[in-house]
Amino acid sequence: MTETLANQYVCPMCGRTMERDIILFLKHTDTHVIERIQQANPKWETKDGICEPCVEYYRSQIAGSESNIGPAQRRRRVRMGTISLIFSVAAGIYLVSQGFSRPFRFGLFVPFFFGMFGLIQAREKTCAVLAEMGTCNMDFGTKKLQDTDIISALKKKGRKILLRSAFWAAVLTSLFLIP
Ligand SMILES: [Zn+2]
């Protein structure tokens, strides 16, 4: 038995050590998630608590709420997406103010696309690239998914995200083609 400090907690599902104040206790309304966790670890009870990435993982394995990225992965995509959008707007303003012709300004589509791609993936809790590979990253490394229904649902979701990102990138780019 490993000794841990009083303010530390070892997640009973993944075995990772973390600060005690970030443990999650599931409510009765989370029955589907609780069932999933108990399937994987019959001895586990709600009072034992669980870490956030583990909850996300078991939630992601339920039909209708498929996801393949954890909270830290989502924050990373929000950050990258936001930076990309700020860059696109700044570049757009520069190109317009300097009188660059429209074919040049059309290049804004690329950073706008990556900006929207990051934000939509975070919002949908789905990485389109991981989805195509049939994998997930719930903040403890990239893992292969097993359930074929979940894999195909995630692929479908990923492709929709790609199309939505392209659509919004086109809309945003067109705003800089008007002047
Ligand atoms: Zn865990």
Coil, helix or strand at residue 174? helix
58 CA to centre of ligand 1 in angstroms: 10
Q: What is the pLDDT of residue 29?
A: 81
Residue 17 CA to ligand 1 centre (angstroms): 9
| pTM score | 0.86
Q: Ligand 1 center to residue 119 CA distance, Å? A: 25
Residue 144 Cα to ligand 1 middle (Å): 17
* Closest CA relative to residue 126, chosen from 91, 82, 156: 156
pLDDT at 170: 98
Phi, psi of 170, deg, nearest 5: -65, -45
pLDDT number for residue 5: 67
pLDDT tens per residue across span 109-142? 999 999 999 999 999 999 999 999 999 999 989 9
The rounded Å distance from CA 94 to ligand 1 centre is 47
How close is the Cα of 44 to the center of ligand 1, in Å?
Answer: 12
- pLDDT score of 48: 92
